[in-house]
Amino acid sequence: MAKRIIQVEEKVPFKMLVPLSIQHLFAMFGATVLVPFLFGINPAIVLLMNGIGTLLFIFVTKGKAPAYLGSSFAFLAPGNMVIAQFGYEYALGGFIAVGFVGCLLAFIIKKFGVKWIDVVLPPAAMGPVVALIGLELAGSAANTAGLLDEVVNMNNVIVFLVTLLVAIIGSVCFKKFWSVIPILIAVVAGYLTAVCVGIVDFTPVMEAKLFALPNFTAPKFNLDAIMMMLPVILVIASEHIGHQVVTSQIVGRDLIKDPGLDRTLFGDNFSTMISGFLGSVPTTTYGENIGVMALTGVYSVQVIAGAAILSVICSFIGPLAALIETIPNPVIGGISFLLYGMIGVSGLRILVDEHVDYGNSVNMMLTSVVFVTGLSGVALHIGNISLSGMVLAALVAMIMSLAFFIFSKLHWLNEESEEPKDML
């Protein structure tokens, strides 16, 4: 029997809404609070702005695009450079500038449409690009779990395995309501296991104030700092398109057309701008939450909004935020191991659903080169920005696809390659 799907616009009862929302919050929490730690700021402001940013995104997209906005890793390298040279306030100015350019890009897309995506990212290219969103994070999941340490701690391995196995078994064996919250159950099981093996420190919970306001910081602007930050727009634009394509594949709707790439891109970058003005880090749609939707079949925007509201609440209640922060890395790693894999499979599903013909040389060349580019570790440096992994693969895919499109129009392709219906 097919899994019960809860579609984007569907409402869920309150007794289901709370655990489903908590599940999304747990899925994104580990990664999203890591960014403020790396920037040296308090994560409370990030939890607040991620929640507000997600609600803004839902409003801008008219509730048609289920997406949770978490902290963007794309800004880490240029952000740290600006912080070291100018200070965090000037990094905030750079975040705002990039968000503004992203909003301008959204207006350009609204003016000229999205048909160009079919040309520069046909299924044979889009499939591997989407798959790479998850596959290139596989090492990150293993590292988070502590599996790549020089000396592997067996307690970490135990917690990781319990979390992963409960998530896998729950996904295929749990029934009724339990079948839609396997991630939440796995997090709880992993957390309890971590407590039993003694790797959870409750000191932050005991020392946290009951109620505290997040630390707001006003931005400052410097042209040099902004120019150091601007090239990251290439990264976030590619990442955003990939996330919208994979989410479309999961929910069975073309989000690129409705609500439209212009709306989703604007919502994403407008959230980054607002975050910068109030002292928080840039936001982006999150692969972890996309993986939760793929695994559970729950696409309801109401659930995403519930997770956003919980994030806002956590930013003001000290012990609650501190308790979530005590979730150990092996638990986050165990969940990420599965969720990143689900995103990878979604990319492969594009190739299957679109019936990509690998008897066609063009399709074979696109998929082959894109996969190798994304997994090879090769990086392209543009100023202070390094393009690698999925982002570089997407750039290569666009260049190759556009070249093959031109070759087809000029009738330069041979018989094994000339199949426009598969290319375009």
CA atoms within 13 A on the CB side of 34: 15
Do residues 72 and 283 lie in contact, with contact meaning Cβ atoms separated by under 8 Å? Answer: yes
Q: Mean pLDDT: which of 24-33, 227-236, 401-410 is highest?
A: 401-410
CB-count burial class (<10 Å; 0-12, 13-18, 19+) for 100: middle
pLDDT band at 190 (very low <50, low <70, confident <90, very high): very high
Do residues 356 and 401 lie in contact, with contact meaning Cβ atoms separated by under 8 Å? Answer: no
Report the range of poorest mean pLDDT among 30-39, 70-79, 179-188, 309-318.
30-39
pLDDT band at 420 (very low <50, low <70, confident <90, very high): very low
Tokens 């063009």: give the residue: 362
Q: Between the CA of residue 143 and those of 146, 149, 235, what are the distances in Å? A: 5, 7, 23
Higher pLDDT, 287 or 366: 366
Give the percent of the chain with pLDDT over 70: 97
Higher pLDDT, 207 or 386: 207
Mapping DSSP to helix (H, G, I), strand (E, B) and coil, where does residue 380 land? strand
DSSP string computed for 389-419: HHHHHHHHHHHHHHHHHHHHHTT-S-TTT--
Distance CA 13, CA 6 (A): 12
Q: At residue 423, does pLDDT exceed 50?
A: no
Q: What is the pLDDT of residues 72-130, one digit of tens each?
A: 877 877 888 889 889 999 999 999 999 999 999 999 999 988 888 888 888 899 889 88
Q: At residue 294, does pLDDT exceed 70?
A: yes
Per-residue pLDDT, 422: 43
Lookup: tokens for 350: 């594009």
Q: What is the pLDDT of residues 11-53, one digit of tens each?
A: 998 889 999 999 998 888 777 877 887 787 888 899 999 999 9
What is the rounded average pLDDT of the residues 267-276? Answer: 97
Tell me the whole-structure pTM to 2 decimals: 0.81
Per-residue pLDDT, 419: 63
Q: At residue 162, does pLDDT exceed 90?
A: yes
Per the prediction, the chain carries an average pLDDT of 88
Q: At residue 2, does pLDDT exceed 80?
A: no
Domain boundaries, the chain: 14-423
Higher pLDDT, 290 or 383: 290
Higher pLDDT, 271 or 423: 271
Distance CA 321, CA 324 (A): 5
Do residues 246 and 114 lie in contact, with contact meaning Cβ atoms separated by under 8 Å? Answer: no
Per-residue pLDDT, 238: 79
Q: What is the pLDDT of residues 328-382, one digit of tens each?
A: 889 888 988 888 888 788 889 889 988 999 999 999 999 999 999 989 989 888 7
